[in-house]
Chain A
């Protein structure tokens, strides 16, 4: 099934996809931030340095 022009349905689905994308990005940011806080007492610079050492 295809629509000849942009339908209202497309807008709603685009809004849902964008919203879900933002939620997922926020969740990743929360997990990353929590990991940094728990592992390095909130020192982001140390966390990034540690990450580069592991490489």
Chain B
């Protein structure tokens, strides 16, 4: 066998980074950050090493569900330009290998989280993986334009898991953090769908842009942004909040509703003319929006001074 043919034979052999990218590191960073917020904001304390290990295995569970998502979605990932360089469509890793990888890592992450912290947190992580893989990826994603709305719940669980790691239960405040991510997810991904429109069309994924049209998507983004602003400001009156969160929430939610209004009021020719500039800006802003809200929750939990408490 000549070296040229060996080159061809092994040119697709995976590197370590290919296995890492199966874990969707960018999604994992959101999981890690919001889970840390749940741990930091929760009342009570745990050993820092237990907190660190818990966060690692929550991240691993999130990554495992990402690998299982890539296994099931390999066919549509190979069509969409945004995803066709992922390890499976690129031919680096086989779909069945990704499935085994995801299942094994899911089991390890759940068992290890249970051993490190408690079994409620482990159960919540297992449920999150189940929800993301079975409910969202296999069931909803290809059947309903509301896929993002319901499936977004999977991404909203990490702060509840983080909270459960510390307290051993699911508190009302952790449900508020869940609600913040849950309502944030649809407008975030719909704005992505507005400027990646050809991707979802050609993959026949029933995103709102495909099934209901772009005008309807803009309406939905504006409605959900208003709802998100209400939820975010309502958190300002809970025990999660303090003056810092309240200030951040006012500034960023005014900006959010204003940006969503601009998206809603603009026409398609305007969108084409500037190559979806506002849609791209809204997508980036929504990432910053979520980051600063959870950062503010963490900072205020450390200041340990509630807004209502200071008034009473």
Contacts and interface: CB of A to CB of B under 8 A. Distances in A.
A12 B15 contact: yes
Interface residues of B, number: 20
Contacts of A4: 3
A37 B47 contact: yes
B10 A9 contact: yes
A55 B3 CA distance: 55
A33 B116 CA distance: 10
23 contacts: A1-B1, A4-B3, A7-B3, A7-B6, A9-B10, A12-B13, A12-B14, A13-B13, A15-B15, A15-B16, A15-B17, A16-B14, A16-B19, A18-B16, A19-B16, A20-B16, A30-B53, A30-B56, A30-B112, A33-B49, A34-B50, A34-B116, A41-B47
B229 to A, nearest CB: 41
Contacts of A1: 1, 6
Interface string A31-51: 001100100011000000000
Interface string B50-75: 10010010000000000000000000
B55 to A, nearest CB: 12
Nearest to B115: A34
Q: For the complex, would chain A's binding face be called helix, strand, loop or mixed by DSSP majority?
A: helix
Interface residues of A, number: 19
Interface in B1-45: 1, 3, 6-7, 10, 13-17, 19-20
A9 B13 contact: yes
A46 B290 CA distance: 43
B89 to A, nearest CB: 19
Given A13-B13, A18-B16, 15 more contacts: A1-B6, A3-B6, A7-B3, A8-B7, A12-B14, A15-B15, A15-B16, A16-B19, A33-B49, A33-B53, A34-B49, A34-B50, A34-B115, A37-B47, A41-B47
Interface of B: 1, 3, 6-7, 10, 13-17, 19-20, 47, 49-50, 53, 56, 112, 115-116
Contacts of A3: 3, 6
A3 B112 CA distance: 42
A7 to B, nearest CB: 7
A42 B47 contact: yes
Point out which of B16, B49, B50, B56 has the most chain A C-beta atoms below 10 A from its C-beta.
Answer: B16
Contacts of A19: 16, 19-20
Nearest to A35: B115
Contacts of B14: 12, 16
Contacts of A33: 49, 53
